[in-house]
Chains A and B, each alone.
Chain A
Amino acid sequence: MPTTDELKHRIERSIPGARAEVVDLNGGGDHFRATVVAPEFAGLSRIEQHRRVYAVFESDIGGPIHALSLVTRAEA
């Protein structure tokens, strides 16, 4: 079962300079919310920013990670 720390570290490892805060929405280890701030999001649309984060997890989304709610922005 994925943990909030695991998700946080995967995001921060995969997206240079990213800082992520991850919460488990229902305590069940499958519905998460991540707030991700990364310099490379500058100039990207929301869709593109979210795609970038989803790409970190590939097919885990919809698998072990049932839902990942996202808030993304470029600036700190």
Chain B
Amino acid sequence: MGQQRVGGWRPRLRAVVVVCVTFVPVLASGQSTRINPQSAEQLAERAASGRWDTFSAQVTVRRELVDANGQRRGPSSEESFMWERTKTTAGWKSTMTMVGRSRPTALTRAGAVLLPDPPSIERVEERDDGPAPRFFNRAGVEIVMPSDRVRGRFRRDDAPGVEATAVERALLGRSFVRPVQGREWIRSLVMSPADRSTRLQAFDRAFGRRAGQVAGLSRYVHDERERQREVLVDEQNAVPVEMNVVQAGRLVSHTRFAYEQSASGTTLRRGIRVERLISDERQVTEMSFRELRLELKGGRP
């Protein structure tokens, strides 16, 4: 299984991979929204102390489609979002705000021009206690989602988009209650060395015993009907480094995880790179988390 690779991928396995983000997104507003990031050590201390009620990070997403020869096909995209989660008396309130994107250009008779920014949706707000997500455009105006009646105007019976059976299967008999959360979720993002054995036990429960070692990493394998999943785990830090999914002899998904480690051994999730096989092409997604902060704002914005 470890020998099967799509399009000449060569996994580079390292116990800890520090993401080096080299691109600077072109900001939609033309202005930077940089804030002072906290060091891994500061984040670890703040997470352990519980004296924080606001988490924020800049999420940068780059995507492209590449063919079997590794050549990019079609347009690519690069966008940055500011993600913030604030603890309120009713639960967590989350906002995702677009802070940067590559502005498109178009040709005119006078040459290439940068297109003006449309008033697109640039912020979504959600709360754990149940209300529907709220969307806001660039001007801060809330955009209302359409009613069932209005939605019907944009669906042709001769061109159904989503298969009703797929939706029914996804929804049938499910519970849609969002789990109530305290601050424990941060332990998945800011991983303490004290939780190392807990994390390894979770791997063991999910995958069974490890199936060997590859390049110094523990190899776990899980058979899922027609698919087989392989996870390579850095046991020292109890985090996965790579995950591969093989179906019918083809590698259909290849994921690499990136981390940053503090001097005291705390491991931060810093990014992920996912390659998915779609027909004969690969969709490549790189998502990075930067400028992480944990703050005690006490209700202050």
A and B: bona fide binding partners? no
Contacts from A to B (Cβ < 8 Å): none
